[in-house]
Amino acid sequence: MARKKIDETIRQKVMEAHASGLPMRKIAQECGVSLSSVHRILKEKGPQMGQKKIIENQNKIERKKRIAGLERRIAELEKKILDLEAGKR
């Protein structure tokens, strides 16, 4: 039995979904292909950034966002302190 050809758009969707960190089973469901097809597509397209690296990068980005938010909050509080001190004088 011959396999159904998977067109390039589906292959691209598989690669993008994998790069975003989706599990292979979820990718297979969303793209309408088998799990083995997803595995084969990823294997054919060469080594990709591993899931661990993706998670590490996402954690770094989230950490930077939290730090930026905290720095903004600190600046606001420092300004309030200065305003309060100026009001006492």
What is the model's pLDDT at position 68? 97
| DSSP classification of residue 33 | -
Residue 1 shares a structural domain with residue 42? yes
Whole-prediction pTM value? 0.50
Residue 21 shares a structural domain with residue 42? yes
Residue 38 shares a structural domain with residue 58? no
The residue range of the domain holding 25 is: 1-48
Distance in angstroms (rounded) separating the CA atoms of residues 10 and 19: 14
Residue 9: pLDDT above 60? Answer: yes
Residue 30 shares a structural domain with residue 55? no
Residue 2: pLDDT above 70? Answer: no
What is the domain count for the chain?
A: 2
Residue 22 shares a structural domain with residue 61? no
Please report, to the nearest 10 degrees, the dihedral formed by the alpha carbons of residues 57, 62, 63, 66 taken in order: 170
